[in-house]
Structure 1
């Protein structure tokens, strides 16, 4: 079978204006809870797309750690490629794709660092090996081989033992959404798409988009 012949007709559910919440964060929470209850593999995985100084986009998968009225929060190395992109262009696009539920959620908005206290608290909650890994790795930078990375890890383990301190180059980001779109697969490619757009006074407009 050729790639062009790979296709699936979606028929699990529908999405109407009458069914969705007036607030997109509440709607996201509903869908996220359903993804967890469905025991999907890593329902908190999302794609983060950034734009570099050369105007070229890049994307990668990270794990969301908090969602509330303030936005979508996750943690990474501030000096990684995405961190440098964000420093130059503080706007990103997020994408959740829950294949088994035939759903996507697309989020666009401005991004900012969370407070040092928030980053400290989350870093302290991580498994010890993850803490040491954040210290040992200069994320996105070239390295000669795997052995050298293991050497850096061992050095961090030797220095910090069981009480690592959060490195200043590592911490959280919060995306303050301006657009959130909910996509539900439907038969004949007539998918349901409901878009929320934040207005100047902080409320949300809602409209259906054509598939």
Structure 2
């Protein structure tokens, strides 16, 4: 307990940044991933091609390299200067959105074809049938895998610690400079992550129960 109490400022700062990274990245990933999933099932070939190239390229690139690009490559492009925290959010969003897109696409494939045909029969466009008929059903089907993606995102935030972002993954390095035992620090970090994952699991079960009843 002494390790936690004596360094509570670092733990609070680290996990605050972790939650900020997670929250913003989750929101943007869900938005971008939904758009990409729609493009993946679009009847327009160029949209399907762009989405496929994006998904296959990013999914097959290690997240560390994506982070490395935004930490070292982005400043060389002459674009508006950003701190490491928003750059980490962008990197996590671009990476996680590909998994969101594929998860949603798998959910879309579970919706009976007759649903889309019925939507077209009453005059709905592709965009209207996707947003009003298909996606609501697909979302219900992918609650468990989607929360698995979000749990993976939460754990992936620790990679930002290697790029000057004080988050949970960097706590051990900071406290090593204070002479704290690394094993004790890592155990406390792991315990908090377990609690956060359990909270996400509770939210998952809530939505599963709610949408199953619906």
Normalized against structure 1, the TM-score is what? 0.28
> RCO (CA 8 Å, sep 6+): is it higher in 1 or 2?
2
Higher helix share: 2
Normalized against structure 2, the TM-score is what? 0.28
Higher strand share: 1
